[in-house]
Amino acid sequence: MNRQSIERAARRIAPHVTRTPLVASPWLSSAAGATVWLKLETAQVTGSFKARGAMHALIALKERSPEVDLVVTASAGNHGQALAWAGRQLGIRVRAHAPAAAAFTKKAAMRSYGVDLIEAASYDAAEEAARDDAARSGVPYISPYNNDDVIAGQGTIALEMLEDAPGLDVLVVAVGGGGLISGCAIVAKDRAEPLGVIGAEAESSPAFTAALAAGAITPVRVLPTLADALAGNLEPGSRTFPLVRHLVDVVALVAEGSIEAAMRGLYRHHELITEGAGAVATAAVLQGLGLAGRTVGVIICGRNIDLAMFEQVTGVAAAGR
């Protein structure tokens, strides 16, 4: 896995995905004492960055195995609908295992794309069931993060950011399973002057914080969080762990109250509707990361939230997406 593989992914997915805007944030710049740019993956197809990795994974799979017409995955919602969206274009059906507590909006979106949805007690249980399903049925399993082609697709975000703002010197990226930050960090570090890379992890699901402290993937207790798309333990042996350990400078834990504040601020200052996970990188900046004087790129990674929940969290009546 290297920058060249990510550049190849960018060429493959370019006809299918949206090149999303990179916009200045005077609000967050003032809060951090830095120059802050926001990468709006809220404008991406299916409402999150997941479309990039999903499309690339299926294009690469179809090249290797043209006969494939079904894949299995685990998803809290964004990866599942992105995979189904990509599959529609490539003639591949999707069977997804999802936590029963996943947002109604996300489950409805998956079903609207024709996903065969199987619910489980938790995300960890869904992931285990999906892997077992794939092994038992002989169908390819497309992990939301533990997959080189998915990681390469997600890394295309950093390529675009650096093309649009060459002066960036730090990226702040939400961390769940680590696919997004792994791909972006590969790009960020493969430069004459490498960028700093900061991960933002919900403190209610500190999988990477615990793994980095222990030197190995270790189970953590996952608590309810607004950042439901980031919640869950890491798959044993996930390739994202060594990538994060070697390429990411620090992973900051983000409090639930900070996520709420970030969601409110992104709506009030930028009119952005974000899900909890989509606001976690912003929340980390608001908490304080020592970014004064830096030029910072923050990825706003998704918008898929039940509007009633968004209004409850932020206290604003959002007119729509």
CB atoms within 10 A of CB 161: 24
Q: What is the pLDDT of residue 312?
A: 92
For 137: left if phi > 0, alpha if psi spans -120 to 50, otherwise beta; the answer is alpha
Domain ranges of the chain: 3-48+147-314, 50-137
Query: Distance (Å, rounded) from C-alpha 157 to C-alpha 144?
Result: 16
Query: Distance (Å, rounded) from C-alpha 269 to C-alpha 290?
Result: 22
Judged on CB neighbours under 10 Å (0-12, 13-18, 19+), 165 is: middle
236-279: pLDDT as tens digits: 999 999 999 999 999 999 999 999 999 999 999 999 999 999 99
Same CATH fold assignment for domains 3-48+147-314 and 50-137: yes
- Two structure tokens written together for 46: 């299916």
- CATH number for 50-137 (one of 3.40.50.1100, 3.40.50.300, 3.40.50.410, 3.60.90.10): it is 3.40.50.1100
Asked whether the beta carbons of 54 and 106 are under 8 A apart, the reply is no
Distances in whole angstroms, Cα of residue 232 to Cα of each of 38, 43, 75, 125, 128: 26, 25, 10, 9, 11
Q: What is the pLDDT of residue 320?
A: 47
Residues in the chain with pLDDT values less than 50: 320-321
* Domain topology for 3-48+147-314: Rossmann fold (3.40.50)
H-run or E-run covering 9: helix 3-13
Global pTM value: 0.96
19-46: pLDDT as tens digits: 999 999 999 999 999 999 999 999 999 9
